[in-house]
Structures are given as structure tokens and as C-alpha cells.
Amino acid sequence: MEKMIEIWLNGLCTGSIYALLALGFVLIYKSTGILNFAQGEMAMAGAFLCYTFAMLLDMPYVVAFLIALAIGALLGAFLDALFFRKMVGEPIFSTIMVTVGLASILSCVGGILWGHDVHAIRSPFTHRTASLGGIVLSQGALYTIGASLVLIVIFVLFFNRSLLGIAMKGTAEDPHTSGLLGIPVKRIHMLSWAIGSAVAVVAGIFLAEQSFVRLSMSHTGIKAMAAAILGGMESIGGAILGGILIGIVEGLAANYLSGMEIGDFQFGDVKDVAAFGIMILVLMVRPQGIFGKRKVERV
């Protein structure tokens, strides 16, 4: 029983990271209509930035965290100004492929700057555990869950209650009309890229907290995409639920399926493809996701 709860809690912890990353996707998608394939690479860059400031330059963890966050936001705004401002209204193939190309460029630059080695960030939570009635969890995991929850609440409030959030929703719905209504569309787009990238950086640093800092951590971005699809690309609540569900399914798959063999097929690290299996299933059965609305196309 206790093992079961531990699996679920650990799944919840990974899931909240996926949820954060998925939130970044949804944020950018909701306001610019672009699906950013480079989100995982942004997370990777954020984790490496935090590592650079905290470990190589010996800054306090919180300062390093904040600097990484600021650089991430700036990078997002910069990318928008450089590439995506010109891409608004282009066919979806071009926008997707520009982000795919960007992902390759970011991981190339990451490889040149930081190399392919595996690093660890020493944070205030490292090697500390908390036990709740016999269930042992690392403090880092608890903080991750807590911080994700707080961020998620903030974003839900932001989108539903604040003027800026509603303006973002409006630009996504119809950039032309919202421009006519006096919403500064370009600035809103830039802002959502900045916020989306900053969220990715936070997710990357939390992810590094749980495992390591390495180039290949950018693959998490694709799993988070599965989370966003599962929940529905246009729903913040959906992204969160999708992320947590995928985290838990991964945890369960890792514990119960990993050692299995069927014929001469060994399941091995089945954890890594569970998300993709779910993604294909969702796309086949209900492409709009759990909370998504079916799109009606205007001719």
C-alpha cells in the first residue's frame, strides 16, 4: 500500500513538471496560435543556465534561479521579435517547422556551450527527505509539486480575471479584431512568448532537481506535448490534468511493466514511450483532448 502511494506521489511530482511544460505550450498556443516544439529545449537551456550560475559561478541558488528565469523570458521575447512576428498568419506547416528548426539550433548551441556531460545542481533540497507516516519522499519532490500548484493557480487566475490575460485570449481568438479593439497584439504576442519561455525554464530547473542537467532532457518537451494533447491544446486546466495523468501513467508503467517480456520482446524502459502511446490513442479517439472543444471549420 505504502509503495503504491509512493508511486502515485512520485508520478504526481513528474506529472506536475509535465504540467508546467504543457502550460508553457498552451500559453503560447493560446495567444499566438503557434505550437512551440522548442519548449523542451528552452527547459534544457534554463536548467543549464541555473547550473552555470549556481554551480560554476557559485551564486546562491535562489539568485541563480531568478537570473535563469529572467534570461529565459528575454530569450522568449527575443525569439518572438526575431522569428515569430513575421510568421503570424503563415501556413501552419511553416510555423511548426520554424519551431522544429529552432529546437535543433538551441540543442546545437547547448551542446557547444555546455557539452554532453551530465551535471547535477546542488540546491537547498538536495538529499533531504520528508516522511509522512512511513512514506518517504524527497523534499525536492514536495517543493516541485507545491510550486507547480501555486504557479498553476496563478495562471488560471491570470487568464480568467486579469485584463492582460483576457487580452491574450482575445488575440488568440482573432488578432485582427483585437487589434481594432485597441489591444496591442504584437506586445501581447511577445509577452506570451516571454511568459511561456519563463515557465519552461522553471520546469527545466525543477526537472534538474529530480534528475540531472543534460542535453537529452529536452526530450521531456515532447512528452509534455503529449500532456497538452491529452488535456486539450486550448485548455489550461486540461494541460495540468494531462501532465499529471501522464506522470502517473509513466510511474505505473515503470513499476509494473518494465521487467516484462512477451516472446522475445523486452519492455525495458517502457516509461519513455508510455506518453507517446497515450498521445497516439488520444489522437485516434478524441483529437481535441479531454477539455478541448471540437473545432468547426469555416469554409
If one asks whether residue 42 binds another protein (CB under 8 A), the answer comes out as no
If one asks whether residue 256 binds another protein (CB under 8 A), the answer comes out as no
Q: Is residue 64 a contact partner of residue 203, using CB atoms and an 8 Å limit? A: no
Which of 56, 63, 97, 257 lies at the binding interface for another protein (CB under 8 A)?
97
Which of 20, 44, 98, 191 lies at the binding interface for another protein (CB under 8 A)?
98
If one asks whether residue 88 binds another protein (CB under 8 A), the answer comes out as no
Q: Residue 216 has what DSSP assignment? A: G
Between 60 and 101, name the residue whose CB sits nearer to another protein.
101
The β-bridge relationship of strands 265-266 and 261-262 is antiparallel
Q: Is the dihedral of CA 108, 114, 120, 121 positive or negative?
A: negative
If one asks whether residue 146 binds another protein (CB under 8 A), the answer comes out as no
If one asks whether residue 45 binds another protein (CB under 8 A), the answer comes out as no
φ and ψ of 177, to 5 deg: -65, -40
For residue 270, the one-letter residue type is V
If one asks whether residue 290 binds another protein (CB under 8 A), the answer comes out as no
* Closest separation in Å from C-beta 129 to another protein: 33
Count the Cβ atoms, other than its own, within 10 Å of residue 290: 16
Which of 226, 241, 245, 246 lies at the binding interface for another protein (CB under 8 A)?
226
If one asks whether residue 108 binds another protein (CB under 8 A), the answer comes out as yes
The β-bridge relationship of strands 129-132 and 135-138 is antiparallel
Which of 222, 252, 255, 290 lies at the binding interface for another protein (CB under 8 A)?
222
- Alpha carbon dihedral 128, 275, 19, 257, in 10-degree steps, equals -30
Q: Is residue 157 a contact partner of residue 163, using CB atoms and an 8 Å limit? A: no
Query: Could you list the residues that contact another protein (CB under 8 A)?
Result: 35, 83, 86-87, 90, 92-94, 96-98, 100-105, 107-109, 111-112, 222, 225-226, 229, 263-268, 272-273, 276-277, 279-280, 283-284, 287, 297, 299
